[in-house]
Amino acid sequence: MIFGSGSWETLEDLTSVYLKTFGDPKEMENWKSDEHFGWQRLNSVNPNLIRLCTEIPSKFGVTEESIKECLEGLTLSEAMSKKRLFIVDLEILDGITCVEGYISPVPIALLFVNGTGKLMPVAIQLFQQKGPENPVFVPTDPPYTWLFAKMWYNVADSNYHQALTHLGYTHLLMEGICIATNRCLSPSHPMFKLLAPHFLFIIAINDRALNFLVSPGGWIDKTMAIGAVGILELTKKGADSWRMNIEGNYAEFLNSRGVYCCDGSILPTFYQRDDSMVLYGAIRDYVTKYVNLYYDTNDKIINDVEIQTFGQELTKSKSDGGCGIPGVPFENGKFSKADQLIEVFTSVIFSSSVVHAAANFPQYDAYGFPPNYPTKIKGVPPKNKNPLKEEDIVKSLIDKSTTLDTMVITRILSERSTNALGDFEVTYTYDPAAVKIVEEFRQNIKEISLKMHQRNEKLVQKYEYLYPEEIPNSISI
């Protein structure tokens, strides 16, 4: 692999550097296509933002006329009523600090499910308030102008992904719950034994990440538009948006965005959703059996001092040393029934394994080829629809050194180095009845894996990040 230094001259120069050591990122092949941009919203690193569009926000300058060629004969109202129109609004990025000389847009994107079931972008506005210098870009604009708008959108999306979808809502959130678990539950407690395998290495990993990646002058500062300061601002800004009863309950999270579906009628190519739902159900079934084994009456829960203290730690404010998690089913200051514990433990295990895997392991495939999913772009976002050329795209790309930094770290982060879901590195459970429940869970996810492989055999662009054998038990990378 020969990089040299300085800027890229052509896109061909960039594509030529992917040799055997790294391999081609999977998203590189079709990165320019609208179909691929839509696929990214569902199956790449950040599939948690898209929601059903039920009205066009007044701040969004898209018009019926501007996108009529994209809606296959439907009006905007008809597309919405048929649940074929979807929206992503990254308003939360407004006001976040950026690295000097770089900009992160604050975009809104509108997408449409076409007649073949593919999600296609139909409009992108790069900043929040419509105006003459903030046009709505559409697929009928000059090709490289439209491509550039999609790239700028992905700058915002990638920065949100790293700050919240990845760091905030998995690494940092689960570390807090790990600490609460160790503070409140003794190693002999059966619920400690249930949770402990899913906290393996998390504190050490987070310490290394914050010191190496998020530190001043570190990898985040070098490769991302909002840098380390912006990442921490955004993580703090979005912290209270995660609620255990919504974002932590996968079915409710999908429902809250209008994208819950069991029959493929809504977003039929949303494979990350489909695989996550099946795994969420398997984990919930496992947790239900385990909790009911030890708590066959509500009184056992109410009188369990360790469990009640654990609930207090989860809900106590951050300023008082707790986790400060909204939506914990801790009614009137106590856990009183098994369903509440099942909700909490399912959320923790699912977030530590499946949610983190979906956010982490596509990173090289997405970010390893910078034009596909830029984390920062040189210059300023376009303020008009003047035609652009390929050379304008190339000039905007990060330089060769930063490209190598991006490739190396995202490749490392995309590696799996610990045991797969259900195959625990440390054995905590020896109770024969509990061991049987663990074995049933392992068998269940083996069957789930087989069905995922069978599904993917029929797909051109496969979704492979949530094979159970590829999901670690914990946030260990």
- Burial class of residue 376 in the structure, from the number of CB atoms within 10 Å of its CB (0-12 exposed, 13-18 middle, 19+ buried): buried
Q: Give the pLDDT confidence of 140-168 residue by residue, as tens digits.
A: 999 999 999 999 999 999 999 999 999 99
Only one residue has tokens 């990993």, namely 205
306 pLDDT more than 60: yes
More confident residue, 417 or 133: 133
404 pLDDT more than 90: yes
Alpha-carbon dihedral sign for residues 58, 61, 66, 67:
negative
Q: What does the block give as tokens for 44?
A: 């790449």
More confident residue, 4 or 222: 222
1 pLDDT more than 70: no
- Would you place residue 3 in the very low, low, confident or very high pLDDT band (cuts 50, 70, 90)? low
198 pLDDT more than 90: yes
Average pLDDT over residues 249-253: 98
For residue 220, being part of any structural domain is answered with yes
252 pLDDT more than 70: yes
- Would you place residue 19 in the very low, low, confident or very high pLDDT band (cuts 50, 70, 90)? confident
For residue 100, being part of any structural domain is answered with no
With beta carbons less than 8 A apart as the criterion, state whether 52 and 86 touch: yes
Average pLDDT over residues 67-72: 97
Residues 227, 206: Cα–Cα separation, whole Å: 17
Residues making up the chain, counted from first to last: 477
- Would you place residue 64 in the very low, low, confident or very high pLDDT band (cuts 50, 70, 90)? very high
Q: What domain range is 176 assigned to?
A: 11-46+144-470
Q: Give the pLDDT confidence of 218-230 residue by residue, as tens digits.
A: 999 999 999 999 9
| Contacts (Cβ under 8 Å, ≥6 apart) of 86 | 41, 50, 51, 52, 53, 110, 111, 112, 113, 119, 259, 267
Residues 286, 466: Cα–Cα separation, whole Å: 18
- Would you place residue 393 in the very low, low, confident or very high pLDDT band (cuts 50, 70, 90)? very high
How far apart, in Å, are the Cα atoms of 434 and each of 297, 335, 427, 428?
18, 22, 12, 10
Residues 470, 416: Cα–Cα separation, whole Å: 7
Share of the chain above pLDDT 70, in %: 99
Task: Please state whether beta strands 136-137 and 51-52 pair in parallel, antiparallel, or not at all (unpaired).
Answer: unpaired
For residue 70, being part of any structural domain is answered with no
How far apart, in Å, are the Cα atoms of 301 and each of 192, 292, 328?
14, 11, 16
Average pLDDT over residues 167-177: 99
Average pLDDT, the chain: 97
331 pLDDT more than 90: no
How far apart, in Å, are the Cα atoms of 156 and each of 102, 343, 370?
12, 32, 14
Quote the pLDDT of residue 262: 83
Residues 354, 360: Cα–Cα separation, whole Å: 10
Average pLDDT over residues 269-282: 98
For residue 99, being part of any structural domain is answered with no
For residue 340, the SS3 value is helix
Quote the pLDDT of residue 270: 98
For residue 240, being part of any structural domain is answered with yes
Average pLDDT over residues 36-43: 99
- CA 216 to chain centroid: 24
Quote the pLDDT of residue 2: 57
- Would you place residue 5 in the very low, low, confident or very high pLDDT band (cuts 50, 70, 90)? confident
Average pLDDT over residues 371-395: 98
Check residue 296 and report its DSSP letter: S
With beta carbons less than 8 A apart as the criterion, state whether 170 and 351 touch: yes
For residue 223, being part of any structural domain is answered with yes
Quote the pLDDT of residue 20: 64
With beta carbons less than 8 A apart as the criterion, state whether 355 and 421 touch: no
- Would you place residue 116 in the very low, low, confident or very high pLDDT band (cuts 50, 70, 90)? very high
For residue 239, being part of any structural domain is answered with yes
| Contacts (Cβ under 8 Å, ≥6 apart) of 147 | 32, 388, 393
Residue type, 232: L
Number of structural domains in the chain: 1
208 pLDDT more than 90: yes
91 pLDDT more than 80: yes
Tell me the CATH number at 353. Answer: 1.20.245.10
pTM: 0.97
For residue 82, being part of any structural domain is answered with no
More confident residue, 417 or 301: 301
